[in-house]
Structure 1
Amino acid sequence: MDTTLTQAGTLIDTILKVRFTDLELEKKCCEELLEFANHEGSTYAKAFAYTYLGDYYLAMNDSIQSGKYLTIARNFCSTKTYPELYMKTCHLLGFYYHLINDEQNAIQYYMESQSIAQELGNTYQICNAWNNIADMYEQHDDYEQANHYYLLAYKTMIEQDCKDNRLITMLEYNLSIVNGYLGKLDEMQRYLTICEQSTYESEEDKSFHKLCYQSGRCLLESFKNNAEEAINIANEILDSNLYGLDDRYLLIVCLIPIGRAAVKLKNIECAKRCIDLLSENCTINEVLLMQRFIDLKTMFAQTFAPKDELLKSYEDYYATMHNVLKAEGEVRVLGMNAKINLLEMIKEHESTLKENERLADEINLDELTGLYNRRYFNLVTQQNHLVVERFGIIMVDIDYFKQYNDTYGHVSGDFALREVSFALKKYEIPNIIPCRYGGDEFICICLNKTDEQIEDYITNVASRIKNLSIPHENSECESILTLSIGYSNLSQSLYDDFEIAIKQADKALYSAKDCGRNCFKKYSAR
């Protein structure tokens, strides 16, 4: 089992490492991880595999497959069990809906991912969501709103001293562009100057930075009507094959404004080079990007083409727009079909989960008391005792329980056991896990709890049993049912085997019995 877990961890690490550089390896590792998850019954591995298959198909511009896998992943995750993975899934779903022009759903998922990021203290993801929301406003030419959200993200990154230079560079580029379109050229220059001063180590990051900075410079010079300088920078970018950066989405985002600048400056050669490169990379499914590309082509025809060619350009514009809308409609229809199929899968999945929960209950719960049994106790202690800062054990024993059974019978004995179990569950707090250890003995696992928290819990449980005043005429300490309790609570540095904590709690329990019972004691080495 350890080998298979290591294999899963290796696959997850590889996926995270190569998702920007080797898409086919990302897909291969996701498929292997999914096979592992199905074989081992690992919900986390399955959710992770579906999330990054969605990521792969987003990069491949397959909106149908990406939407399907991301929606399945969302239903495997939850904010409580896998918050970081759920945050990532929501962000990718926001990007998916963004690309297919369903902006209301995009906003919903970006905001949900941001809400989880705030709970986790993940500054990068908070700002990444603001950046993508701003991008949607920019694509609709609402530069004031775009500037507001870009600035919100940028200030947060700087104030929180977030070290993700790539996102900071992207924000500086975006802020320079929207300020340029707002006519605030001094602000545009300021952000480009800040961007120029950034430093990077990897060649890929250097190329990313140079493309952003040089694209911004090109637009700044065009806004200043410095035609020669703007076209020289644009041709440098095109001659360098975008500095070797293999990022299709960034290519489109940078080339469209450069193409518009070339048209504005009436440089037909540079404008045509941009349009030809965009024609190779824009696809019909990316609705908003495609619309902006069509707008650029129409601007080109209006500026450079004779009247008959201009008329042909308008015909092409309407034909292309028709195809864009048709593609959008097809995506929505396929989305509806996928939703129906997904709901059926969810129903089947929920049925399977319920059956698995029922089987787990049969295996892990004590039939009489409803508490976890000794098997589950051993499982939880083995999984947790070395990954928490403090590990505690509480041992609970019903005083003179054999005499109680002899006097009142086993039916009453079972009733007493249930009452103690109810008290243990009633006052249960997070990370204190009560279990039936055997006979009249109960044991509780305490993860990262202070002595004060443990003693409050013990006092509440013991007081409830005493207040019930269950008769016990043959008890040698009280005429009612009472409990003796012992506990230990160790920092991780003081033990390397959870059996030590159990032995110490057992000694504390016997210390309570030696003191006349009906009390609790903490283990002491003295």
Structure 2
Amino acid sequence: MKTNHKKIIPISITALILLLITLFLLSNYGNKSLEKNIKINNPNIITCIEEAIKNQTSITENIDQINEYLLDKSHDSEYYFIKGYLNYINSDYEQAIENLNLASENIVYSDSPFVKIYTYILLNESLEIENQYDSLIENCKIALNYISENKNYKNDIDLIWRTISVLLNNEEQINKSISLLNTYLNNTKGLTDESIVRLTGNIGQLYRLVYKYSDAMYNFLDAINLIESNPSIPNGDYYKIKLLTNIGDINFTLNEYENAINYYNKSLSIKLDDKNKDALSKSITIINKCQSYIELEQYETAIQFVNELNELLPYLDYDAKDDIEILMCNIIALANIYQHNFKEAEIQLTKATKLLEQDEFEYSLNKDAFISLAYAKLYKEQKVYDQSLLIYNQVLQESINKGLGLEEDIYQQISEIYKEKQDLNNYAKYNDLFIKQKNYTTQIFKEDYIEYTSNLYESNLLKANSQKYKFNLLIMFFSLIILCIIVLSKTISVKKLRNSNFMDSMTGLNNRKYLDYYISKNKKRLLTKAISVIIIDIDYFKKYNDNYGHIEGDKIIKEVANTLKGSVRKSDITIRYGGEEMVIILSDISPKDTEIIAQKIQTNLKNKKIEHKYSDVSNLLTISIGIYTTKFFGQDIYTLINKADKALYKAKKGGRNRYELLLDEKVDRFCTI
């Protein structure tokens, strides 16, 4: 049996969230691996340390000079700061914590804003490395206060980000960092418009990390409005590209793939004069756009657009280029896996693996996890289940340890494998884990949630431009509308969400999720009633795909789906089971009436006269049908489908373009047409 091949976690809601934050901020603050040395000609050691941090240079060659300076230095805040800094660059973080804590004791008396600020930044970074988190928030608050008070630092957004970056380890800390940045944004006087745009966008990114999508959208829209109202903002187009991409990513996360593509296209339509910067800003947008097409099962379109990246690659620096090439390979591999072009998929994954082995700088985080997932999907589609399970479990453990957010998809994939292996105990275990994980996140994935945010933002813009009397009337009217929305949403949002989750986007049929839901919801009603399971497979579909192309192949899948919908009763359930395979569940029906429906399906399809000159049974497109009829006593629906599949196998073996009816095992006979 074919399995559902569509579920793989979107790049944009996991590893690339942190990547996009990095891209948006263009953060340049230094790390521990410093490239060159700086000579101390200035007798002011503090100034030299500041220059070393700003320029990402080292002062290790001047340690003797610094130590000589410290011999004559009184043991004040600056003395302990210098000692702590030396400990820090030498990775002696325990000693750095001790000295920087001593520096902080009388820091208010220091005349150096740099010392005041960096005492707490370096202290926090040392504490984080040593897994000491208790004082991080308070230290961030103090550092931000000192930054806001100094005109030379208050608009240094990279410095502000460095300050709060130690608070990104868990949801509670991220929420606190959001609060700190909002306070800074609202209370700091003298911020430039560019700083406001960047801070607002950064806060939106943090909201995304804790799944507060309405707040994230509000911030992104606010930043875009500021850019559009003030065209003179430096780098305004660059920031707008990133903001539009982020809005696209939120729509992607909420499974609104067409909307996501719309925002990605808006982002890509903005051209930057700097070709290097333009390529850097567009590359991830294109990757996520192609992932959207994959989720829409438009695989050839995904491959077409991912090839646009070849024009941008020459303008990317080496560290970014190889990462984008890896992600390109991943997209092409997935598109080919879903189309069962396994050889090409293996070529792309092999290329990605070689690039990963040579990758020295993490421009895009956790690429190896996504390549591993693609391998697991490849093995799953090839029915090499043991190898697929091994990789899925490895990535699952990595996701849990690193917080990658891949658990829901992996649980579903593993449960499907165990279902195919007829291992019902493990299937039940992982399906339960999948449902629990999905229940944890489902409530925030609602389209009307985002629409409400957009409307709220537009109303606030109107507020700023309206007279008070008109504004009050508007708010009263708007409040009534919102009240109605809240009341109605309680009854319709669940239905909308369920319908979107239960529908196959390409054919309009129900998907396998709906099959599980339908049986669970109707189990009692179906008990003791006659039930027929029909499974349909397109004859020589691979030959059709190979000769007419995958786009035409998708079209005939849709045509067969439309034929099914037009041939069955309103009460019957039609499912796209996987690839070109479809299932119909009929209740309260006799074997004879089931046969009539099967005949009707074949006749209606024949009347469409769809050419298939590469078929071995007809010059027109045909299908083979397997039917299993029994009484329902609570059996596992997949057991019944497997029995219908046996009838389908017999129909294929008997020459295709036919149907076979298998009655209950107690009857133990085939009725053949």
**What is the TM-score when the length of structure 1 is the normalising length?**
0.50
Whose relative contact order is higher, 1 or 2, with alpha carbons under 8 Å and at least 6 apart? Answer: 2
Structure exhibiting the larger radius of gyration computed from Cα positions: 1
**What is the TM-score when the length of structure 2 is the normalising length?**
0.40
The structure richer in helix per residue is 1
